[in-house]
Amino acid sequence: MRADWSRRYNQLLAPTGRLVCLEFPTYKPTSSGGPPWALPPVVYQAHLPRPGKTLEYDDQGAIVESKLGEPLKDGLERIAHFQPQKTHEVGYDAEGKVTDWLSVWAHPGAM
């Protein structure tokens, strides 16, 4: 479903628009299942620049980064990536540290 997700967001985003993603849960093991399914930053970084492309995952549920290939020319580009100072209640670890990330995406050349 992630290939369809990345293609649809690419289609829906206006040419000069911005897509803001709350990346959650980022530190959940990919092998733990879901919902919610683990969504570390690498998932966004792999799929959004390659809209509609089916990517390979290993037997633990992690993206096989060595087989990603180049981003597609119409794929989105990440223009910002940071951890917020505060987030929703389930976005903190046992020590009270924020585990979520925020990313901002745009079409190539729209920056």
Helix (H, G, I), strand (E, B) or coil at 71: coil
Residue 57 in domain: yes
Residue 39 in domain: yes
Residue 84 in domain: yes
What CA–CA distance (Å, rounded) separates 37 from 98? 18
Whole-number pLDDT of residue 109: 86
Strands 77-82 and 19-23 turn out to be unpaired
Helix (H, G, I), strand (E, B) or coil at 26: coil
Domain count, the chain: 1
Give per-residue pLDDT as tens, 28-70: 888 888 888 888 999 999 999 999 999 999 998 899 999 999 9
Residue 83 in domain: yes
Which residue range(s) make up the domain with 79? Answer: 2-106
Residue 36 in domain: yes
Residue 111 in domain: no
Residue 35 in domain: yes
Whole-number pLDDT of residue 111: 66
Higher pLDDT, 38 or 8: 8
What CA–CA distance (Å, rounded) separates 59 from 108? 33
- The answer to whether the pTM exceeds 0.85 is yes
Give per-residue pLDDT as tens, 69-108: 999 999 999 999 999 999 999 899 999 999 999 999 999 9
